[in-house]
A = this chain, B = another copy of it.
């Protein structure tokens, strides 16, 4: 455990409510202190003061590519290969549609049962749309590589499983896809800002991710898409909105794709959300992902050890081997929903994923050993006291 990493200096950069240990940054990252002022500036000085002129003066129009480059550094993507916009669902659709158009003779989209459902739903919708008898094939996470054959047009996977935290071998699976002639698409929802990602080295054609989880850009923050630079000029954007046009302000009636990654833009970018993202990235610009990953593993190992020693009823469903895990730790427990409510009532905020998974995000930017140990102690208390049996914790809220 590297001493210099023990106290990452960013905890004070976040607003963390009193009495809360926040283990849900894998679902929604906390508020960066600087985002308060940055968003206010976007609202008051830019929107209020510059009005329509903000598109030029305040740089709104250039933000999607500029912020894309800053995210690129965190995921091993070269400058000019990442652009912000829309939601992750939309970006997955774009990537998959472009991938299918690169393999017109193939008919299978391969994904796994551990993928986040929206990726599967978007694929289903796209497949129905093509009317060409494409098929969505789902393998178990462990069986993906074996399921890649020469009928597969595209492999669409989320690198880190949203429930278990199980991490795919990005490089190995991409190589397997390429050996079979398939296009590779990685969903980095639980990777960007969580683990080291080297998109360029993986050689994957497409990736997409969101910015409201580990990147801390706020609720509803925009998604990003990556296209491998050698393909950027041939990828068909499919959702060809005007801001992906070569000359949006020429207002031509016919579409001409913009240069490189710009063509993956669709409509007007969400300027206020972009401002929050910018403040979040001011922190990320200073982060070394290798150090962060080491800290994530240290804290995760500690958390697992503490919980397991005190809570025999909780079954670790995340991989025990740290290198096979993302930056979250999940335990299965048949009363998991109620237990999570009991924890939240005590200030330990994780979340629940059906059918029985208690999920805890380990986010070293704003968590330390003290947090992790305190959280484990509270979990132990809830389990020992069976506090989750209280009626108020049994009622299911609509969402979390």
Contacts and interface: CB of A to CB of B under 8 A. Distances in A.
B125 A251 contact: no
A227 to B, nearest CB: 16
A331 interface: no
Interface in A376-400: 397-400
B241 A272 contact: no
Nearest to A255: B121
17 contacts: A24-B51, A30-B48, A31-B43, A31-B47, A36-B43, A47-B219, A51-B349, A55-B219, A87-B241, A87-B268, A89-B239, A89-B266, A90-B267, A121-B240, A249-B399, A270-B272, A272-B273
Contacts of A276: 43, 272
A131 interface: yes
A305 interface: no
A222 B44 CA distance: 19
A351 interface: yes
Given A28-B54, A47-B218, A52-B351, 5 more contacts: A36-B40, A36-B43, A120-B253, A218-B272, A220-B272
Nearest to A352: B249
A40 B397 CA distance: 27
A354 B223 CA distance: 31
Given A219-B60, A400-B56, A241 B36 contact: no
B125 A252 contact: no
Interface string A35-66: 11001100110111101111110001100000
B31 A39 contact: no
A187 interface: no
B15 A48 contact: yes
Interface in A11-39: 15, 17, 20, 22, 24, 27-28, 30-31, 35-36, 39
Contact of A354 (B49, B88, B249, B255): B249
A210 interface: yes
A344 interface: yes
A35 B46 CA distance: 13
Contacts of A126: 129
Nearest to A42: B219
B271 A87 contact: no
